Amino acid sequence: MKPQSLFDKLWARHVVVEETAEAPALLYIDLHLIHEVTSPQAFTTLATRGLNVRRPDRTLATLDHSTPTLPAGKDGRLAYASAEAAAQVETLIRNCEREGIRLLGLGDKDRGIVHVIGPELGATQPGKTIVCGDSHTSTHGAFGALAFGIGTTEVGHVLATQCLLQRKPKSMRVNFRGALPAGVGAKDMALAMIAQIGADGGQGYAIEFAGAAIGALSMEGRMTLCNMSIEAGARVGMVAPDEKTLAWLKGRPMAPAGDNWDKAVDDWLALATDDGAAFDREVDIDISALSPMITYGVSPDAAAPVGGAAPEAASEAQAHGADYMKIAAGTPIAEVAVNRVFIGSCTNSRLEDLRAAAQVLRGRRVKKGVVMLVVPGSEAIKRAAEAENLHRTFIDAGAEWREPGCSMCIAMNGDKGEPGDLVVSTSNRNFIGRQGKDVRTVLASPATAAASAIEGRIADPRPYLAKETANVA
Residues 6+ apart with CB under 8 A from 389: none
> Residue 138, SS3?
helix
Q: What string of DSSP letters covers 58-89?
A: GEEEE--SSS--SPP-TTS----S-HHHHHHH
> 442 and 294 in contact (C-beta within 8 Å)?
yes
User: pLDDT (tens digit, 9 = 90+) per residue, 66-116?
Assistant: 999 987 766 666 788 999 999 999 999 999 999 999 999 999 999 999 999
In the β-sheet with 15-17, what is the strand arrangement from edge to edge? 15-17, 25-28, 163-166
Residue 73: predicted pLDDT: 67
Residue ranges of the chain with per-residue pLDDT less than 70 = 73-77, 468-473
Domains of the chain: 6-166 (3.30.499.10), 170-240+267-286 (3.40.1060.10), 294-472 (3.30.499.10)
Determine the pLDDT at residue 468: 63
Burial class (CB in 10 A: 0-12, 13-18, 19+), 81: middle
In this structure, are residues 121 and 253 in contact, taking their beta carbons and an 8 Å threshold? yes
Identify the DSSP state of 298.
Answer: S
pLDDT of residue 8: 98
Pairing relationship of beta strands 25-28 and 15-17 according to DSSP bridges:
antiparallel
Q: How far apart are CA 148 and CA 138, in angstroms?
A: 5
Reduce the DSSP state of residue 96 to 3 states and report it: helix
Residue 371: strand pairing partners: 340
**Residue 472, pLDDT score:** 47
User: Which pLDDT score is estimated for 414?
Assistant: 92
Residue 300's contacts (CB-CB under 8 Å, 6 or more residues apart) are 191, 194, 199, 228, 231, 232, 428, 429, 430, 443
Q: What is the pLDDT of residue 120?
A: 98
**What pTM was computed for the model?**
0.96
